Structure 1
Amino acid sequence: MTKKNYPPLELTASQSQTLCSIFDTFIAELSPEKTLALVTSIQGKEDCYGINQTQVSNLAKISASSLDVKATVLDFFQNSVEPSKRVDLLRVLDLLATRPGSLLMTGYFQPFHLLSQEQREQVLLSWRKSSMQTFRGLYSSLAGICLFNAYSLTNSPILEAIGYDADKFFETHPDYEPVQHNRIPMMTKEQVTGMTFDVIVVGSGAGGGVVAGELAQAGYSVLVIEKGKYFHPSEMVQEEYQGYRDMYDGGTAFLATNGTTQCLAGSTLGGGTALNYLVSLKPQYFVREEWAKQGLSHFISPQFNKDLERVFDRIGATTENVTMSKTSEKFISGCKQLGYEVERTPVNTGGRAHHCNKCMLGCKAGIKNSTANTWLVDAMNHGARFLDRTIVTRVLTSKGKAIGVECHIHDSTEVTRLMAKHVIVACGSLRTPTLLKNSGLSNKHIGKHLVIQPISMVFGFYDEVIRQNDGPLISNVCNALDNCQGDHYGAKIEEGILLPGGVSNKIPWLGAAEHKSMMMRHKSMVSMLNVVRDKDSVGVVDYDPSSPNPIFSYKVSKHDGTSMVMCIEKNMKIMVTSGARELYSPQPNVDPFKFRDDEESRIDNPRFIKWIETIHKAGALNTPLISVHQLGTCRMGVSPKISAVQPTGETWEIKNLHVADGSVFPTSVGVNPMVTIEAVALHIARNVISSLEPKSRL
């Protein structure tokens, strides 16, 4: 992430007191009674949980204040949040510090910090379940920044207290063998100023990386501009706190205006391909047929088949040498006993052994074949130039043609103009629409039709050691909801390994003591995720030229909500069938389910059957969602009346201006989209090459 030089977030004494009291509600020093209950709960199960009574006692004493979470959060605000966006937080803190404001927001005629721990917990839980998006968004933001920052710092006392030791696993594995990569040189402002290029590519992920590689190999002069910082594998710091700050857009997740949907997007050389879970799935054929019926026949052509195969070959996508973990065994066992289709997931490792559980923070071993390790290397080897930490604000045009870009290089406030014959925009579905609109394009479909392939997470606890962090992030996928006939509910169920910061932020917070109980048992936990193919939900990226970060809304449709709930049900059955004893749904109005000591883990348990009914009754409304697959905001089509770009990827309004990222998808693809984006980018690159004059080649 490009570091901002924003002024510090200054808090008054009352604001500071209120913020600390909120954080100390999420992570509280427990009472003697609750401490005793927590210590007693592990007796006889120390080996299962990988934790001893001394650690549990220490965990009970920890509070957000003892960890100084407030200082970490304020540092994040200074480096990541522009002053205009801090106003809402300060206003909330001011309200909660007064009697009238607290009554309005909490129902108590006392300032928030004077309420008891139990009262404060009930307030936060009421915000979590609120029908008002203001309170849901407030809860989500405060819980996220508190819990994630507390559990994501390396060497934190709270990580020691829960017995987290997964850092040791990967590099000490017998077949650990890093891949050495040459450094990709970055240009300075002085070097690039005044240069002209055949093509400028804005973005370096699955779309931009492929296009840059193809155009450079075809002999054209190419400049790749990346908003984030380039990290060579040797420079990657695989610590949650630092990794998200350095390599994700905005340093964290963007929250939708509905308050429950979070979007994560890469901002480093390689974009999302540098940070994803390695899953390499081809688009299902019924999706390709759906796109072809919209007039985009290329997607059922032999050429697209070849492009998909070429992508697989270049990134080394294979099921060879995919490691099995205890989580994998549970996942496969549950699926097979239930008759659910499950298959090994191809990953882009070239068949090398890969046990890393931290690739969401970059692949320090260099094994993951991101664009920075593949297509951009091809581009570099054929003369392409690279510029990181550069924000493009506008595509320059003249007489209806793209002629270059305006940008700010390396945090400079000075505007630099870089000229080119063609411009390829590949900033991702949250940023590409804004760049196009900033550049004067007015097509009504720019920014519309956002699909996010929403992810909901489910957690299960077992009475045995799982250690899900000891192994790959995802190695299997369940296709139980892929009915391609009629009104199919396209969804995938996958293993979903998280690090402590991610677990703390995603597992339901039901009170400080309950949350600590779950976190201390993380070694007996399995997390799974549902990736829904959103069919008719409504997503929009709003255009606000004054905001440096994307603003978007997303409303789940009845159909897609049904897909989500059906997935949650199947998730629960997979875990129960494989032996889970406790189950946690992401739905805010669904209490956890726990088998009694005298009960087997069985899906025909009458109490479990009734609990599944509550999952369906609760539906998907207000369920926290995560997205790492934003698509569709500049969709491809055969007419400007229904699309933002042509079948070639060129915009309808400006010649020589192409879009080459997931935003061109006509609809949701329903699988992890990296392979599809790269194959589409090959198609767009061919179209750009055909429009460039041969004489412009180097």
Structure 2
Amino acid sequence: MSATRHLEAPTTAPIAAPIPTQLPELKPGTYLTETQWQVLLALIDAVVPSIVVESEARDQKNQLQISQAQYTEAYERTRRLMKQPPDYDKFKQYLAARPLDNPRFMRLVKNTIQNVPDSSRKQLGTVLSVIATRLGSLAGTGYYTPLQEQPVHVREAIIQAWNQSWLTVWPVIGKSILKMAKTAFTQTDPLFMELIGYKEAPENYQPAPSFEFDFLQFEESGSSVETVETDVVIVGSGCGGAVCAKVLAEAGHSVVVVDKGYYFPNSQFPMTTEAASQFLYEGNGMLQTADGSMTVVAGSCWGGGGSINWSVSLQSQGFVRQEWADQGLGFFTTQEFQHCLDRVCDFMGVSDANIRHNHRANVLLNGSKKLGWAAKSCPQNTGGAEHYCGNCTLGCYSGEKKGPTVSWLPAAAQAGAQFIEGFDVSEVLFDKRGRSKQAVGVLGTWVSRDKDGNTHTLESGRVKRQVRVKAKKVIVACGTLHSPLLLMRSGLKNSHIGKNLHLHPVGHLNASFNEDIRGWEGGILTSVCTTFENLDGKGHGVKLEPSSMIPYMFLYEHPWRSALQWKLDALRSRQMDTFIAITRDRDTGRVYPDPDTGRPVIDYTPSAFDRKHILTGLVALAKLCYVEGATEIWPFVQDVPSFVRRPSEPANSTQTDVGTEDKGDKGEEDIDQGINDPAFTAWLKTLERTGVNFPSATFTSAHQMGTCRMAANPSRGVVGPEGRVWEAENLYVADASVFPSASGVNPMITNMAIADWIARGVSRDLKKDRPRARATL
């Protein structure tokens, strides 16, 4: 065993762009049969096809042909709606491009299929095989000719029909194909990025110096188990684990932090979207609930979610603290909990000073003011820096965001903590002598980097070792999705493990404005509207927030009603803003291991109660966008058309009606109706009447909480008030999985404060044990 310092590549000149992170090698195997691939690619091709004037078509099967009149109208409308429209030749080139001819697009599609869970891939393959036959095609598409043999306009019509089908299976399949195609296109099409002005590498790129971590290394040595000894082993390097590491190391205890993810220095950030999905996110950024209703975004790298979150740092609200205290957890209304909140905020320099709001943040603030709603700036964990950065979700290169790898873990290292990356813990180890079960360490598999220090190569070419970390205390902090699975694998039986899952389900809305916005620039989430956060009188409702504008993140669920419509909408994305209605969910789901792979399966569907709140939030967001001048508004609900604002008619001040002498009050038709505009109110009624129901509407989650719930007794939760697991001694959980219910705010600060509290308790226990240990010698 040795320690290796992770060094950045030496440079003799300023870095002009991030050091590329190579994508993983495609694993051997086709994953689908040749026929299944043909059907899948035929469907993907129909979502974002080559679109040409019918007289110029060169491929009757694979080019979507429209009339010259349609084509001219599409270009003229684009010129009219865009501040910086492309010239005709570029427009023509954009529409005519066929993504299937782009090697980067094809590689991403293949990698996506490779990373789909086995069970889901088998289900998809079965459907593809069925509709590849004549009878199956007739049943599934209404056409006797197999889908892969159809021209692209028929394939487009099939997807349109699936989206409207009353049989749930077809909208679900259709949405999966749409998501795959739109995501791959917006991540890989070079002309699309050029025309919207999106650059993968920031201008004037200058990454901050990175902390030089020392990671323990293990030599290849047969089948023997390598052993490391420490006072405390912490499983997970995210917000909870990193705080525990700093607190315990600075208290004088030996600490080892392990994580299945790997570290990447600032010079590799921001990654390309494909690389970030692979190396920074759980499930390669493709995690979904079991029913497909929700996309779940979770960090999976050194630093966890704190490495890819958006800097917003909101403290737990009083009504949530009281709710938790009323459940027998009085700590949450003590001044000590406030001290914990303040301590973590002070360490990261959390502040709402020096925030520079971008367009969508100002839409929320100014629109709320016009409507009489409560809105405010969101404090950021950036040490008071302006941090006008929209790339944090792909890795923050500036070092201004004081996440785990910038602040907590370096502080822990300086106090003596040790680290192991690439270490997947399989179980907690117990000493089962006597009546009590005592945690004594963890066992797992360590996979090294390759000989060049990379992580994209196949594991078969790297060192792999079984490692046991022996410890007096074990802290599980591997996140709401994995902490309960680790406890299950370790033999714990508490019925609440994996239950009580809260996800803060999110509804989305895009809006276009008559301005060149380039929304991927500037802080991601710097303002919030709180007027609707308590819709039921018990603390359940929605907050209205801006969201990330990395193109694929706000376009992959942008409504698709036809290939031409979606391609034209995507071209206008430089004038769009995106917003979310984020719900403090009352109702819950669960997480459990896939029986074949052990991966987390997320069993969660937003309830009717919580969906009603999401709908209220989407209506409110539409009103905010309307009063701020939005020209078109798209809720992410397939069955609701976009709202298109009518062009304003200039007032005629030179003429008056005959016989009109009154110069005083204006008639009702002359006043600015604002959100009472009849066309807008009629559209809102359509949205409200339709509702947000899967599969017409889909949802997103970036916050996972509650699966190892804290409770006053073991009949109601997994851990006690100090984070100690009820079933075992010396075993703790210290991440968002211990939340007694949904936090209602972005959970980072609450997570860190609870971890601070738990770690201080662990330190006290260790110090109490020391005299007894000496006395027995």
Measured against the shorter chain, the TM-score band is: over 0.9
Provide the residue aligned with 2:226 in structure 1: 193
Q: 1:571 aligns with which of 621, 626, 629?
A: 621
Comparing 27-36 with 250-259, greater Cα deviation is found at: 27-36
Provide the residue aligned with 1:346 in structure 2: 379
1:407 and 2:444 equivalent?
yes
CA-to-partner distance for each residue in 1:227-271, whole Å, 9 max, x for gaps? 111111123343211112111112113111121111111011111
Provide the residue aligned with 1:29 in structure 2: 50
Structure 2 CA distance for aligned equivalents of residues 413 and 437 of structure 1: 24
Structure 1 CA distance for aligned equivalents of residues 607 and 111 of structure 2: 38
Structure 2 CA distance for aligned equivalents of residues 532 and 157 of structure 1: 36
The letter of the residue matching 2:585 is D
Comparing 480-489 with 638-647, greater Cα deviation is found at: 480-489
1:544 and 2:598 equivalent?
no
Bigger Cα Rg:
2
CA-to-partner distance for each residue in 1:277-304, whole Å, 9 max, x for gaps? 1110011110000000000000010000
Closer/same/farther in 2, CA of residues 565 and 575 from structure 1, 3 Å limit:
same
User: In the TM superposition, what is the alpha-carbon distance from 1:544 to its structure 2 partner?
Assistant: 3.0
Structure 1 CA distance for aligned equivalents of residues 239 and 169 of structure 2: 35
Structure 1 CA distance for aligned equivalents of residues 269 and 201 of structure 2: 16
Q: 2:210 aligns with which of 170, 181, 185?
A: 181
User: In the TM superposition, what is the alpha-carbon distance from 1:133 to its structure 2 partner?
Assistant: 4.9
Q: 1:301 aligns with which of 323, 329, 334?
A: 334
Provide the residue aligned with 2:467 in structure 1: 416
Secondary structure of 1:406 counterpart: strand
Provide the residue aligned with 1:90 in structure 2: 125
Structure 1 CA distance for aligned equivalents of residues 473 and 702 of structure 2: 29
Secondary structure of 2:111 counterpart: helix
Secondary structure of 2:179 counterpart: helix
1:616 and 2:688 equivalent?
yes
CA-to-partner distance for each residue in 1:35-91, whole Å, 9 max, x for gaps? 433322223455x1453333221111022312243332213444x346565322322
Provide the residue aligned with 1:72 in structure 2: 108
User: In the TM superposition, what is the alpha-carbon distance from 1:183 to its structure 2 partner?
Assistant: 1.5
User: In the TM superposition, what is the alpha-carbon distance from 1:179 to its structure 2 partner?
Assistant: 4.0
Secondary structure of 2:640 counterpart: coil
1:439 and 2:502 equivalent?
no
Provide the residue aligned with 1:115 in structure 2: 150
Structure 2 CA distance for aligned equivalents of residues 332 and 667 of structure 1: 29
Provide the residue aligned with 1:559 in structure 2: 609
Are 1:42 and 1:53, in contact at CA under 8 Å, matched by a contact in 2? no
Structure 2 CA distance for aligned equivalents of residues 36 and 194 of structure 1: 71
Provide the residue aligned with 2:541 in structure 1: 490
The letter of the residue matching 2:325 is A
Provide the residue aligned with 2:522 in structure 1: 471
Structure 1 CA distance for aligned equivalents of residues 592 and 138 of structure 2: 33
Comparing 324-333 with 517-526, greater Cα deviation is found at: 324-333
Structure 1 CA distance for aligned equivalents of residues 689 and 248 of structure 2: 53
Q: 2:301 aligns with which of 233, 254, 268?
A: 268
CA-to-partner distance for each residue in 1:601-629, whole Å, 9 max, x for gaps? 94212121121112222222112111110
The letter of the residue matching 2:110 is L
Are 1:49 and 1:523, in contact at CA under 8 Å, matched by a contact in 2? no
Are 2:261 and 2:422, in contact at CA under 8 Å, matched by a contact in 1? yes
Q: 1:15 aligns with which of 36, 41, 52?
A: 36
CA RMSD of aligned residues (A): 2.4
Closer/same/farther in 2, CA of residues 131 and 318 from structure 1, 3 Å limit:
farther
Provide the residue aligned with 1:459 in structure 2: 510
Structure 1 CA distance for aligned equivalents of residues 358 and 580 of structure 2: 17
1:382 and 2:403 equivalent?
no
User: In the TM superposition, what is the alpha-carbon distance from 1:375 to its structure 2 partner?
Assistant: 1.3
User: In the TM superposition, what is the alpha-carbon distance from 1:169 to its structure 2 partner?
Assistant: 5.4
1:246 and 2:279 equivalent?
yes
Structure 2 CA distance for aligned equivalents of residues 654 and 579 of structure 1: 58
Structure 2 CA distance for aligned equivalents of residues 436 and 276 of structure 1: 26
Q: 1:210 aligns with which of 235, 243, 252?
A: 243
Secondary structure of 1:187 counterpart: strand
Comparing 470-479 with 84-93, greater Cα deviation is found at: 84-93
Percent identity reads 32
User: In the TM superposition, what is the alpha-carbon distance from 1:484 to its structure 2 partner?
Assistant: 7.8
Are 1:49 and 1:522, in contact at CA under 8 Å, matched by a contact in 2? no
Are 2:208 and 2:397, in contact at CA under 8 Å, matched by a contact in 1? no
Closer/same/farther in 2, CA of residues 288 and 15 from structure 1, 3 Å limit:
same
Structure 1 CA distance for aligned equivalents of residues 732 and 111 of structure 2: 38
Are 2:515 and 2:575, in contact at CA under 8 Å, matched by a contact in 1? yes
Are 1:318 and 1:347, in contact at CA under 8 Å, matched by a contact in 2? yes
Closer/same/farther in 2, CA of residues 503 and 35 from structure 1, 3 Å limit:
farther
Are 1:457 and 1:585, in contact at CA under 8 Å, matched by a contact in 2? yes
Are 2:197 and 2:518, in contact at CA under 8 Å, matched by a contact in 1? no
Provide the residue aligned with 1:664 in structure 2: 738
Q: 2:719 aligns with which of 645, 651, 659?
A: 645
Are 1:395 and 1:406, in contact at CA under 8 Å, matched by a contact in 2? yes
Provide the residue aligned with 1:480 in structure 2: 531
Structure 2 CA distance for aligned equivalents of residues 640 and 166 of structure 1: 52
The letter of the residue matching 2:722 is T
User: In the TM superposition, what is the alpha-carbon distance from 1:688 to its structure 2 partner?
Assistant: 1.3
Comparing 256-265 with 323-332, greater Cα deviation is found at: 323-332
Are 1:20 and 1:70, in contact at CA under 8 Å, matched by a contact in 2? no
The letter of the residue matching 1:574 is L
User: In the TM superposition, what is the alpha-carbon distance from 1:461 to its structure 2 partner?
Assistant: 1.0
Provide the residue aligned with 2:481 in structure 1: 430
Are 1:630 and 1:662, in contact at CA under 8 Å, matched by a contact in 2? yes
CA-to-partner distance for each residue in 1:328-373, whole Å, 9 max, x for gaps? 3322221111111110111111111211111001111111100111
Are 1:202 and 1:208, in contact at CA under 8 Å, matched by a contact in 2? yes
Are 1:51 and 1:520, in contact at CA under 8 Å, matched by a contact in 2? no
Structure 2 CA distance for aligned equivalents of residues 631 and 164 of structure 1: 37
User: In the TM superposition, what is the alpha-carbon distance from 1:486 to its structure 2 partner?
Assistant: 2.4
Closer/same/farther in 2, CA of residues 485 and 512 from structure 1, 3 Å limit:
closer
User: In the TM superposition, what is the alpha-carbon distance from 1:500 to its structure 2 partner?
Assistant: 1.6
Structure 2 CA distance for aligned equivalents of residues 369 and 641 of structure 1: 38
State the TM-score, normalized to the length of structure 1: 0.94
CA-to-partner distance for each residue in 1:495-515, whole Å, 9 max, x for gaps? 113112223313112221111
Provide the residue aligned with 2:14 in structure 1: none
Are 1:56 and 1:520, in contact at CA under 8 Å, matched by a contact in 2? no
CA-to-partner distance for each residue in 1:92-130, whole Å, 9 max, x for gaps? 221121122223322333211233434323432344455
Secondary structure of 1:529 counterpart: strand
Secondary structure of 1:194 counterpart: strand
Provide the residue aligned with 1:42 in structure 2: 78
Provide the residue aligned with 1:125 in structure 2: 160
Structure 2 CA distance for aligned equivalents of residues 12 and 446 of structure 1: 39
CA-to-partner distance for each residue in 1:381-428, whole Å, 9 max, x for gaps? 111111111211111112211111121111566533222121111111
1:528 and 2:564 equivalent?
no
Structure 2 CA distance for aligned equivalents of residues 494 and 484 of structure 1: 17
Are 1:581 and 1:601, in contact at CA under 8 Å, matched by a contact in 2? no
User: In the TM superposition, what is the alpha-carbon distance from 1:190 to its structure 2 partner?
Assistant: 3.5
Closer/same/farther in 2, CA of residues 684 and 10 from structure 1, 3 Å limit:
closer
Comparing 69-78 with 632-641, greater Cα deviation is found at: 69-78
Provide the residue aligned with 2:709 in structure 1: 635
Provide the residue aligned with 2:176 in structure 1: 141
State the TM-score, normalized to the length of structure 2: 0.84
Q: 1:315 aligns with which of 335, 340, 348?
A: 348
Secondary structure of 1:41 counterpart: helix
Closer/same/farther in 2, CA of residues 40 and 66 from structure 1, 3 Å limit:
farther
Structure 1 CA distance for aligned equivalents of residues 165 and 746 of structure 2: 32
